[in-house]
Amino acid sequence: LETHAASAPDAAAPAAETQAIGEDVAAIRDLILAKLKYSVGKSVTAASPHDWFVATALSVRDKVVESWLSSIESSKRTGRKRVYYLSLEFLIGRLLIDALTNMEMIDETRAALAELGVDLETLREVEDDAALGNGGLGRLAACFMESMATLSIAAYGYGIRYDHGLFRQRIKNGRQLEYPEDWLSFGNPWEFQRPEIVCPIGFGGHIDTETRPDGELRQVWHPGETVEALAYDTPIPGWRGAHINTLRLWSARAVDPLRLDQFNSGDHIGALMDRVRAESISKVLYPGDTTPAGQELRLRQEFFFASASLQDLVRRHISLYGDVRTLADKAAIQLNDTHPAIAIAELMHILVDLHDIPWDEAWAITQATFSYTNHTLLPEALETWPVPLMERLLPRHMQIIYLINALHLAKVSGEPDATGHRLAALSLIDESHGRRVRMGHLAFLGSHKVNGVSQLHSDLMKTTVFHDLESIAPGKITNKTNGITFRRWLKEANPALTSLLMEVVGDNLLDNAMVLEKVAALADDSSFQERYAAIRRANKMTLARLVQQRIGVKLNPDALFDVHIKRIHEYKRQVLNILEAVAIYEEIRAQPFRDWIPRVKIFAGKAAASYTTAKLIIQLANDVGKVINSDPALRGLLKVVFLPNYNVSLAERIIPAADLSEQISTAGMEASGTGNMKFALNGALTIGTLDGANVEIMEHVGSPNIFIFGLTADEVEAKRSQGINGQDAIARSPKLSEALESIASGVFSPDEPHRYRGLVDALTYHDFFLVTADFDAYYNAQRAVFRRWRDKPAWWRSAILNTAHMGWFSSDRTIAEYAEEIWNVPVTPPGRK
């Protein structure tokens, strides 16, 4: 008896826990069944996987909503300062696994579904990606939303609820075809329509001048056209579900659903014209902007969501605090690039025209409220709008911009170095090719802080586009190196690796990523290396199955998986990688029995529909793959695959299976990169240039554990100033000239031998991205990769050290820096609430 009593607490504890989990599982199972029946309207026997997905999503959503309402209530009660993240893009991906993970319900839900004979992995796959973004900028916004919730910041994301997200890519005969994406066709279980939250958005019209009771003049804008912005809210749970924020996306609709008189008089289509025109604003992500109509639609999108968001947050502020003049104390607005920069003029319009705040005071409030993140220095991506278009679409905002500019230029024109050249560089209006409004300048002037997204990029901002503005506002530019959420990019994408790491560092890994450093001590431990390598092997098997299913190519899971996945762009230099593949192909054919390392080159990525060269690069990758993959002389030693329709979900599959991460942009051109961080965290070694955040990744993982090659940003600038002809570099490199020659002569395009003539000519005579200049350095870096790969303990040591030293790249760290240095809001780390 005594023995029994003494041992009882130990023995009883796990039993009680198991029982609690058992109860949870039963409760979750019953809730899913109730959702299936009463919300989906299906019986167990008739339910499709999609029905089960909706029932499961609704059941976890109940828990999310519970916590969401208390988060909102608590922010209200405590009078906390709110952060508003304005972004034209949120590249969210799927939400089921994310919500289950952050609500810490995943194991119980998997078990509950298993009791019902349903596999959670199947449900995961039927969810459509929310692809409301193009690439890194939109994915960053999604990672930031998750980290802001995790750190209990009272934050709102504001954007557009596009009916159609990023196009679906199909590859036909090696060529990219674009199809509309239709993520809402089966409904969206995560969102709540808010029919009561509707903001009128004006366009065009005219301005009257009125005299106020106090004798001052007031400008009154009478828009010629009004559309409505309708709110849809999606709750965003942070890690452990302790705090939940709102992503509010606006959908456009006409004030009147149709012109009834016109309809009844027989003009059924004409009666709907206004509606079609209004709704086109939130129809598609990134409407083609090669035509004036396309450009105008893009500007309408930008103003539509900026104005709706500003009206909404000002209304909230006034209802809570009664006085718009305290806005900056209670609200921080972050502009995700210049796409929402018109919000600066909109806030001035609200303060000055609608609330009678004197101009100078309004400008001080505006600057104290806004901050701006720049994401690119590429001249073609710096937004400018033709003055005539702005005057027609937003006449009052154009007036405001002119006044901001006049006061700004008046301030600097008194300075001794105020030459015409300098004033032209500082002006909000670019006069060099037709008069255009520089949105970057507007965002800079209207903000108290401006940041770049990696140290190198922030430094370059000061010497290039913002050189002159920085000189009149020293210290305004700061750096906030990007980060990624480890909940999605470690735990959800690579659960096996996460479990292994937690065995070492403890189960607070996702609360404080810096504990990963503890893993470094095991980098040389052979049994740890074996377990780490076995997880990679399993992930590669899974990916190989997916590749076989999707494109019918069989991959050897023991080959080195060399992965290049991102948007297709000349500066990202997919061509450099393809050229190396061609060079290796020629070598293996020439010397088939050297001890080649089996290798798979994996490409994925979308090209903008109007970007002809990028589409040709996709075709080249596919053409090269077709020839290489079917050449028996290679005996499977080299494969080149292009996986269609790259998106967040595909990235979650590919990254945990990668051995080598390609980050090979021309130095100085990739602002940061965030894919680079996802790979290194999951233990792929990077082959890369000293560009963007690669520089900081090298500093963290250690230069022996990353393969850096090529010209630096300074060298790129120097080289370009001497000319960008590639002939010398080609002449010096037999491997490069041979590879270019075979591509140009049609070895990979026998059906159209001259298909790549133009591409090769451009590299030869006008190589702006310095592919030819960097080729030999890249080729040699790839040989260094092979040497490491042959030495397996050395390879796994480097891989483990990459994982161990990537904690700093958590978006929790990035967001904590924004909170402290830009927003002035407190953060509460998870795990100690």
Instruction: Name the site residues for ligand B1N (rule: CB under 6 A).
Output: 134, 136-137, 140, 286, 375-376, 381, 453, 482, 670-674, 692
Q: Report the SS3 class of residue 379.
A: helix
From CA 140, how far away is CA 151, in angstroms rounded? Answer: 16
Helices vs. strands in the chain: H and E counts, helices first: 33, 24
Q: Which of 338, 376, 674, 686 is catalytic?
A: 674
Residue with Cβ nearer ligand B1N (140 or 450): 140
Instruction: Give me the least distance between CB of 482 and ligand B1N, in Å please.
Output: 5
SS3 letters across 701-718: HCHHHCEECCCCHHHHHH
**Least distance to ligand B1N from the beta carbon of 566, Å?**
9
* DSSP H helical ranges for 711-791: 713-721, 727-732, 734-744, 757-765, 771-790
- CB of residue 379 to ligand B1N, shortest distance in Å: 12
* Cα–Cα nearest to 602, from 634, 644, 570: 644
CA distance 831 to 513: 12
CB-wise, 71 or 482, nearer to ligand B1N?
Answer: 482
Out of 435, 567, 626, 735, which one is annotated catalytic?
A: 567
540 noted as active-site residue: no
DSSP state of 133: S
Given 678, 700, 755, 788, the catalytic residue: 678
Closer residue to ligand B1N (CB): 129 or 383 = 383
Helix (H, G, I), strand (E, B) or coil at 727: helix
- With respect to ligand B1N, which residue has the nearer C-beta, 518 or 567? 567
- For 670, the token pair is 């990739």
Which residue in the list 540, 572, 788, 805 is annotated as catalytic? Answer: 572
Structure tokens at 607: 């090209």
Strand partners, 203: 225
Nearer to ligand B1N, 191 or 670 (CB): 670
Strands (E), 305-354: 331-336
Angle, CA 741 vertex, CA 735 and CA 746 arms, to 5°: 135
Name 555's Cβ contacts closer than 8 Å, sequence gap at least 6: 540, 543, 544, 547, 548, 561, 600, 639, 641
Catalytic residue among 243, 248, 298, 375: 375
Minimum gap (Å) between residue 609 Cβ and ligand B1N: 13
Phi, psi of 620 (to 5 degrees): -65, -45
Q: How far, in Å, CA of 136 to CA of 674, rounded?
A: 7
Work out how close the CB of 227 gets to ligand B1N at its nearest, in angstroms, rounded to a whole number.
22
Residue number with CB closer to ligand B1N (55 or 671): 671
Nearest-angstrom CA–CA distance, 348 and 363:
7
Determine the Cα–Cα distance for residues 572 and 632; give it in Å rounded to an integer.
Answer: 31
Query: Can 566 be counted among the known catalytic residues?
Result: yes
Residue whose CB is less far from ligand B1N, 152 or 674: 674
Question: Using an 8 Å Cβ cutoff, are 716 and 670 in contact?
Answer: no
- Do 583 and 629 touch, CB atoms closer than 8 A? no
Q: Kindly tell me which of 75 and 665 has the beta carbon lying closer to ligand B1N.
A: 665
**Residues with Cβ within 8 Å of residue 707, at least 6 apart in sequence:** 685, 686, 687, 688, 781, 782, 784, 785
In the complex with ligand B1N, the residue whose CB is nearer, 619 or 674, is 674
Q: In what order do the strands lie in the sheet with 429-430?
A: 384-386, 436-438, 429-430
Residue 4 annotated among the catalytic residues of the structure: no
Least separation in angstroms between CB 767 and ligand B1N: 21
Own/partner pairs, 695-699, CB within 8 angstroms, 24+ separation: 695/454, 695/455, 695/456, 696/454, 696/455, 696/481, 696/809, 697/806, 697/809
One-letter amino acid for residue 45 of the chain: T
Measured from the CB atom, the residue of 202 and 668 that comes closer to ligand B1N is 668
Residue carrying structure tokens 């490199």: 733
Whether residue 833 lies in the annotated active site: no
Min dist. Cβ of residue 365 to ligand B1N (A): 28
User: Measured on CA atoms in the order 320, 311, 814, 93, is the torsion positive or negative?
Assistant: positive
Min dist. Cβ of residue 253 to ligand B1N (A): 24
The answer to whether 674 is a known catalytic residue is yes
Among residues 298, 339, 566, 639, which one is catalytic? 566
- 2 vs 380 by CB, closer to ligand B1N: 380
The C-alpha atoms of residue 394 and residue 387 are separated, in whole angstroms, by 10
For 434, which DSSP code? Answer: B
Residue 387 CA from chain centroid, whole number: 30
| Minimum distance, C-beta of residue 339 to ligand B1N, in the bound complex (Å) | 7
CB neighbourhood size of 153 (10 A)? 28
**Minimum separation from the CB atom of position 375 to ligand B1N (A):** 3
Residue closer to ligand B1N by CB (options 240, 298) is: 298
Cβ at position 383, least distance to ligand B1N in Å:
8
Minimum CB separation from ligand B1N for residue 739, in Å? Answer: 27
In sequence order, which residues have a C-beta less than 8 Å from that of residue 761 and are 6 or more positions away? Answer: 744
Catalytic residue list contains 700: no
Q: Catalytic residue positions?
A: 375, 566-567, 572, 674, 678
